[in-house]
A and B are shown apart, each in its own frame.
Chain A
């Protein structure tokens, strides 16, 4: 188990390193002076000089890279070109909003999608199953930016139940939560469909296994069989899907954050790209990648925790 953990962690570190390398090379590959590229055409000569010094632009490229990578490893992601604030600080300010959005979105999708999938699998070819099927395809097919716009139009503009934009007053949890509802709804909706379909398919398969028949023959209750036995096995492929889904959610969050004007990692990266604020883009992408790798690693460990066969083969 520990050997597995080290192996996986090592692999993740290698991937992060690769991302750092690519991010660094991209800046080098763009023709022209790296400082001008990094800071954009509107940068003052002083800023360029300061940047050149800070980034050790006079040193050979490989040394620059090592310095950049070393700084990144110690949490220093460089300096925002315009505000001259630390990129790390900026990202830390924003990342909470994105994390809240992603986790709440995936959370409600799981709470609804997984039971729906179970229900559909336990009563296949009944009206419950059919409605779930239609709902799943429907929610998967509708793009989340469309859902966002409609959600704003209906709940914020017409009904005036929920706020349309922003993330709420800092420190006011209730206000922040009400601001979270619409974006989380928009981002998570298609996942309800994905999860319901996925869980239904694997539940149907597991419910046909002979060990489920054994459980029935031993007189276990339907509830125990579905949730205690079948779901425990059927959830395994779904965990992998959810883990990978977080990667998709980080990009889905970009739409939501733009439409709902929420401060967040996605919006930060988007704005920085528009403003050619490359140090922030670099830092943001790096943090997003690390986040994604962390979630995938976590989901694999979760599977190993649930499935003793996986655990023992590690």
Chain B
């Protein structure tokens, strides 16, 4: 059969002030009709550039320097503008990454969808509206007749992505491109969107190209996979081959770095050392050579050969053919090929018996309107409770993972602990001393001992300060003058393994991982006892996130730090945590030793999170959806248990009574009337 899409030898360059970035070099792949092809790669791999090249929507500084893209046998790169307008949105359509920013906020869905149908002259306004309503219904938006007249901000995140899929499918495209379709969504939504995409594809028999860095998503969704690294295709093949018999060292390393794939618990995460090469002057030979564990002199001199596999896949590596062919490569899947790095201090962790931070029954309320308005409107509770009766302890030397989806109140809880937002009721103790609501003048000395690592690594650094100034800033803030700032900066850079040459750089010149290290250095500048890290791996590639977490683990072992790690990423945090606390709608619904919570959840929500992570294994695709719906708004908290509206095991009691926090044996706490595994719950 003729391929729907055929990309051959595509090369794209970006003109920048530093020179031409050779973003894509001789990228080739083809897509057969009715297949779902995944393009997987980390940031800088050029996977999105491929996608935008297909639509001829590259940034204005991009130049296609060679190659061909043909869609249904016709060349895409030489089409006229008019021709492209007829094609985009009709024959080829797109599902976008972030539904929060990819839909225009000032137009209703009815209008946006009518605009997409502008080429259908034969259809009247009413017919177009009906098509839109039908399509919204098909993607699972309740009450579409009413919803179609609403604006994007009236929809929740998951609903918006559904609407985004509806917009893309509206014209019945032959080729659907999906750009990181679930990256901006929570775990439970991710599963639903994957399910929906697969359903829509089956129904319309469209051909789909998915671009993602998420191996789980690729394994769940795709038939074929193209692996990209630094602007080149390093391996391509059937999804089973890629995930079970990866040929290229990069593919292999990438798979091993995915924390969802590591069975059992591993305190140290695997890492691909080094950074992506500078594509202004791509290295000679193999593009991956600098970071490859199996690098040979040949790799640095000569381009690797393209070796075809038995199933029609291929990989480019000197290990597979030629003089350096190694018949023992690739090793069986259970043999690791990626180093985890030695622990700075071997041996068991020492966790002090006394809690460092102890939060008990903390409540945080946010006012939704002023007191006068509330009186006028007769609202009895003009506030929402973002954190409800939260209790959590962190000991010195211990890592506690606080896990929840967006809106679960986990960041608010941390901020309240640090007196960054006000709290109502409950207590916060640091080393036995009550600190809740303490005036800033008295609290300032505690800020040296308990620090926060903020979420956005680059955004939380002042763009006008050099790295040197940034990492010694805490000393300035606390008026510490008896140290030499330059020496101190070097000591800290050493500690977080940041090259000293970077000290004079500015934040925008750093990579994501480097900016994170600066964040760690800032947090640790004053030798704190407790570090609260808000999403320490957000925005980092899998090959880099391990580096940060390993570094944090080493520093913990060295200094006996207590960590409270806030994250939505359960697979990552379970490896590095001693204890886990799961938060839903402001309440901690389960807490206990990390292994046990992960292996045998008591609360149905924990189960949802554990099962919700798409597995990087095409043989373990889920056939059913784990949980329906979305996190409800704080403004209409369900009656009874917070999770009742989505819980698959809900019973009448759950609708009436809020489940109390129960501490079962072996230090496990939960808030569920019918904890799993105890009263004949399924599985």
Contact = CB atoms under 8 A, between A and B. Distances in A.
Q: A and B bound?
A: yes
Contacts of B119: 219
Interface in A211-233: 211-221, 224, 228-229, 232-233
Interface string B80-102: 00001111111001101110011
A312 B116 contact: no
Nearest to B57: A216
Interface in B151-199: 151, 153-154, 167
Given A216-B57, A218-B89, A308 B153 contact: yes
A42 interface: no
A219 B86 contact: yes
A218 B105 contact: no
B107 A309 contact: no
A214 B165 CA distance: 12
B180 to A, nearest CB: 12
A224 B106 contact: no
A312 B84 CA distance: 37
Contacts of A219: 84-90, 116, 119
Interface in B138-159: 151, 153-154
Contacts of A309: 105-106, 151, 153
A94 to B, nearest CB: 40
Contact of A210 (B88, B102, B106, B116): B102
Contact of B106 (A217, A218, A233): A233
A275 interface: no
Contacts of A213: 57, 102
B167 A218 contact: yes
A304 to B, nearest CB: 11
Which of B87, B88, B106, B167 is the most central at the interface, judged by chain A CB atoms within 10 Å of its CB?
Answer: B106
Interface in B19-64: 55, 57
A220 B89 contact: yes
A307 B105 contact: yes
A215 B57 CA distance: 11
Contacts of B101: 209-211
Contact of B104 (A229, A306, A312): A229
B423 to A, nearest CB: 26
Interface in A275-309: 306-309
A307 B88 contact: no
A217 B93 contact: yes
Nearest to A232: B106
Interface of B: 55, 57, 84-90, 93-94, 96-98, 101-108, 115-116, 118-119, 151, 153-154, 167
Interface of A: 209-221, 224, 228-229, 232-233, 306-309, 312
Given A212-B104, A217-B55, A308-B154, 11 more contacts: A210-B97, A211-B105, A214-B103, A218-B115, A219-B86, A219-B88, A220-B89, A224-B118, A228-B115, A308-B106, A308-B153
Closest 5 CB pairs of A and B: A219-B88, A218-B89, A219-B89, A211-B104, A308-B151
9 contacts: A215-B104, A217-B55, A217-B94, A219-B89, A221-B85, A224-B118, A233-B104, A308-B105, A308-B153
